[in-house]
């Protein structure tokens, strides 16, 4: 990498990190009641925390952290998939990973397995994400054009959604049916530190596997044949990314539900800024995703108290027009 490009990349990462830190702190400040936040932070560390300490440590901190990890995971997964499939519309939401994960988590949670077996819910999410991603890949084929991939994704998403509705209708809990929206749209309200610990192992493992794929993804931009002459085993890379996306996206979706469009929008916005190089898009997309989800979650809390707006509603409101714009743009070149 040229020194100038290197500096530009460092500057971008620095700015994005700063943005994420600012949004993270802002997120801690916002709740249904104004709190003296620094005093609350200090008091949350006491052996027997005060009331405001409890609100800080058990409600606002886990919420901000879950938004951070979820947003980063979705952004990173989107960047890796777009790199692997060399397709600007590949993302966890569009090619079925998220809805598959939601289906897996629903199957575990509502039928009591989540109580019997620890980590059954996130494992269900991981399995569902892997299965859905792989099915879309099989349906679309290796050299899938944008349209084929999207169609396969639409089919798998529709199937997963139908199965989620079916399972929630069959679930013994009287509250289940009303939670369809939660799984479709995603929400990070009212989670605890326990939920964070539940999603963290899969997320960190997935990140670790994804961050190592940068060089291979760069080589892949030159075409599959060139990449394999450079010593990159494409089947291994493919499995590694599918598995890593399933691990990380499956874990977050099993806690938050599927939050749409972050994995699609963020890599797109950042791609021109990193010189269209997939390896440099990974970390920046993770930071961008975290920032976008934190911002969206802050926005949901600015609505008057009692209006329970799901965070996915806002990300979709931003993301769907963007998706349309991408389709119109790609028509000029391909269709």
Partner 1 sequence: MKNVLLTLLLILLGCQIATASERPSRVVSINLCTDQLLLMLAEPEQIASVSHLALEPNSSYMADKAAKFRINYAKAEELIELKPDLILAGLYNDRSLVLLLKKLGYRVEVFPLSSNLEDIRNNIRVMAELIGRETEGQRLISEMDKRLEQISRSNPTHKPRGAFYQPNGYTSGRNTLQHSALELAGWLNIADEEGVVGYGSLDLERLILAKPEQLFTSSYAPGTQSRGQLILKHPVLKQLTHGREMIEVAYKYWICGGPMITDAVEILHKSLPR
- Element counts in the chain: helices (H) and strands (E): 16, 0
Binding mask 288-307 for partner 1 (x = CB under 8 A): -----------------xx-
CA 176 to the chain's CA centroid: 24
Q: Is 112 in the site for partner 1 (CB under 8 A)?
A: yes
Cβ at position 79, least distance to partner 1 in Å: 29
Output the CA torsion sign for 317, 319, 320, 322.
positive
Q: Is 3 in the site for partner 1 (CB under 8 A)?
A: no
Residue number with CB closer to partner 1 (110 or 242) = 110
Among 49, 228, 269, 309, the residue binding partner 1 under the rule CB under 8 A is 49
Q: Is 54 in the site for partner 1 (CB under 8 A)?
A: yes
Output the CA torsion sign for 137, 140, 143, 147.
negative
Among 8, 31, 161, 221, the residue binding partner 1 under the rule CB under 8 A is 31
Cβ at position 190, least distance to partner 1 in Å: 5
Cβ at position 306, least distance to partner 1 in Å: 7
Among 2, 3, 4, 33, the residue binding partner 1 under the rule CB under 8 A is 33
Q: Is 11 in the site for partner 1 (CB under 8 A)?
A: no
- Residues 88, 93, 95, 99: what is their CA dihedral angle, to the nearest 10 degrees? 180
Cβ at position 316, least distance to partner 1 in Å: 20
Among 7, 26, 39, 173, the residue binding partner 1 under the rule CB under 8 A is 173
Burial group, residue 175, by CB count within 10 angstroms (0-12, 13-18, 19+): exposed
Can you tell me the distance from the alpha carbon of 122 to that of 207, in angstroms, rounded to the nearest whole number?
Answer: 16
Stretch that binds partner 1, among 84-92, 105-113, 261-269, 325-333 (CB under 8 A): 105-113
For 226-257, give one letter per residue: b (16+ CB within 10 A) or e. ebeeeebebeebeebbbbbbbbbbbbbbbbbb
Phi, psi for 239 (deg, rounded to 5): -65, -40
Residue number with CB closer to partner 1 (109 or 247) = 109
Burial group, residue 3, by CB count within 10 angstroms (0-12, 13-18, 19+): exposed
Stretch that binds partner 1, among 81-89, 126-134, 176-184, 232-240 (CB under 8 A): 176-184
For 61-73, give one letter per residue: b (16+ CB within 10 A) or e. bbbbbbbbbbbbb
Among 71, 93, 104, 114, the residue binding partner 1 under the rule CB under 8 A is 114
* C-alpha gyration radius of the chain: 20
Residue number with CB closer to partner 1 (62 or 71) = 62
Q: Residues interacting with partner 1, by CB under 8 A? A: 31-33, 48-49, 51-52, 54-55, 58-59, 109-112, 114-115, 171-176, 178-179, 182, 190, 192-194, 305-306
């Amino acid at each position: 990498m040229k020194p100038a490009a290197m500096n530009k990349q460092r500057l971008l990462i620095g700015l994005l990190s700063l943005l994420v830190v600012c949004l993270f702190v802002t997120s801690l400040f916002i709740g249904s009641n104004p709190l003296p936040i620094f005093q609350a932070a200090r008091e949350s560390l006491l052996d027997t925390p005060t009331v405001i300490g409890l609100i800080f440590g058990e409600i606002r901190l886990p919420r901000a952290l879950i938004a951070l990890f979820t947003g980063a995971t979705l952004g990173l997964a989107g960047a890796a998939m777009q790199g692997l499939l060399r397709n600007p519309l590949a993302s966890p939401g569009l090619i079925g990973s998220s809805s598959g994960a939601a289906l897996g988590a629903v199957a575990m949670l509502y039928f009591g397995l989540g109580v019997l077996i620890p980590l059954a819910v996130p494992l269900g999410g991981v399995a569902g994400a892997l299965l859905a991603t792989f099915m879309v890949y099989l349906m679309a084929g290796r050299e899938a054009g944008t349209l084929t991939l999207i169609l396969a994704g639409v089919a798998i998403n529709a199937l997963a959604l139908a199965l989620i509705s079916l399972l929630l209708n069959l679930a013994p809990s009287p509250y289940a049916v009303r939670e369809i929206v939660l799984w479709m749209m995603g929400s990070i309200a009212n989670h605890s530190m326990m939920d964070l610990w539940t999603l963290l192992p899969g997320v960190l493992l997935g990140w670790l596997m994804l961050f190592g794929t940068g060089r291979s993804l760069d080589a892949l931009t030159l075409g599959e044949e060139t990449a394999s002459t450079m010593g990159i085993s494409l089947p291994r890379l493919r499995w590694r990314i599918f598995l890593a996306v399933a691990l990380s996206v499956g874990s977050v979706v099993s806690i938050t539900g599927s939050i749409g469009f972050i994995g699609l929008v963020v890599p797109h916005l950042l791609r021109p800024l990193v010189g269209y190089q997939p390896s440099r898009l990974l970390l920046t997309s993770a930071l961008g995703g975290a920032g976008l989800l934190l911002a969206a979650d802050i926005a949901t809390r600015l609505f008057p108290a009692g209006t329970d707006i799901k965070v996915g509603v806002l990300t979709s409101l931003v993301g769907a027009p963007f998706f349309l714009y991408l389709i119109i743009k790609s028509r000029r070149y391909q269709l």
